[in-house]
Structure 1
Amino acid sequence: MNDELETIHGIMRGARFATVTTRGAKGELFSRPLAVLDHDFDGHVWFFTQDPSPKTEDVAGDPHVNVAYADGASHVSLAGTATVTRDAALIDRFWNPWAEAWFEGGREDPTVALLEVAADSVEYWHVDKPGVVRAFEVAKALVTGSAPDVGESHTVTL
């Protein structure tokens, strides 16, 4: 895995929840928190979801989504295409006690599904400096008129 993907994966792994934004039938945007599932980032991310649900209806109408992660001061914004799957092997791979709590019938609940997002691009902001250093950089930027050096921001096309 290259350095950028390692940075992205580290931020994603540090987040407990991600915000998934879908587009509704009238073009409105809906953002919903979903629990992050632990796996190595390979351009795809998965979330447990109920199907049917308003989220899966949105994806059926327009599969383009955004997924945002935050780990402290670092952030990842992933743009991609979502699909809903009931692949039993994938569900078994990701099943955990947190998922159990969200489905009344547990693993056998007929609404258990995964929302899979295939990333097209990922933008990330990685802040790797302590808060005191970030404050100094901002103060220095105000005095010098330059941009503060508090971390890095990159866009990765997948």
Structure 2
Amino acid sequence: MTQPTDPAAARAKALEMIKDIRVAMLVTHDAVGGLRARPMHALQTDPDGTLWFFTKGHTGKTSEIAADREVLLTYANPANQDYVSVQGTAAVRHDPAMAERLWTEEARPWFPEGAQSPDLALLQVTAISAEYWDGRSGAMAGLFGSVRAALTGEPEQTAESGTARF
């Protein structure tokens, strides 16, 4: 596996990989120190590593975040063999203008009154670091990597991985 050495390139790579993945698993710490994961519909990924999600304002997850802001998000695109985990800090925001801007009809089953739903809140995750595994080349990369390895005697490299700091 290869790993870019340029920090800006690593950040850009991680953000590019997650921008089209619609569901992330959000991991929080529960009241007794355990870990809880739940799926979250990704709304937006900002260039600075800020990630946005809708949530209900009063849930177990919002209580857990109030007690411990450290979270982990995991993204997966198995079709491309792309995987990213993002460590960050979370905050629950009540910002009607931002909610309106990010509104999507896919959220209506949870928020029937739209962006003005009384219990609608935004979950803002500020990325601290990300790890990624990009196997996007898939089977063809494996084939070409095997041929290249056989011809050159160098180890096969069919995927790229890296760590990004924000």
Q: Taking structure 2 as the reference length, what is the TM-score of the superposition?
A: 0.81
Distance 1:92 1:147, change over 3 A: farther
Q: 1:94 aligns with which of 80, 102, 109?
A: 102
Q: CA deviation at 1:6?
A: 2.9
Contact kept? 1:79, 1:120, Cα under 8 Å: yes
Q: Which has the higher contact order (CA 8 A, sep 6+)?
A: 2
1:126 aligns with 2:134: yes
Q: What's the C-alpha RMSD, in Å, of the aligned pairs?
A: 2.4
C-alpha separation between the residues in 1 aligned to 2:143 and 2:124? 38
Percent identity between the two aligned chains: 34
Q: Taking structure 1 as the reference length, what is the TM-score of the superposition?
A: 0.85
Q: 1:109 aligns with which of 105, 117, 134?
A: 117
C-alpha separation between the residues in 1 aligned to 2:47 and 2:75? 13
Q: CA deviation at 1:153?
A: 1.1
Contact kept? 1:49, 1:115, Cα under 8 Å: yes
Letter in structure 2 aligned against 1:48: F
Kindly tell me the number of residue pairs found equivalent between the two proteins.
154
- Give 5+ residue unaligned stretches, structure 2: 1-7
Q: CA deviation at 1:51?
A: 1.0
Q: CA deviation at 1:125?
A: 1.1
Q: CA deviation at 1:150?
A: 1.8
Question: Which consecutive segments of 4 or more residues in structure 1 shift more than 4 A?
Answer: 135-138
Contact kept? 1:11, 1:70, Cα under 8 Å: no
- Give 5+ residue unaligned stretches, structure 1: none
Contact kept? 1:7, 1:126, Cα under 8 Å: no
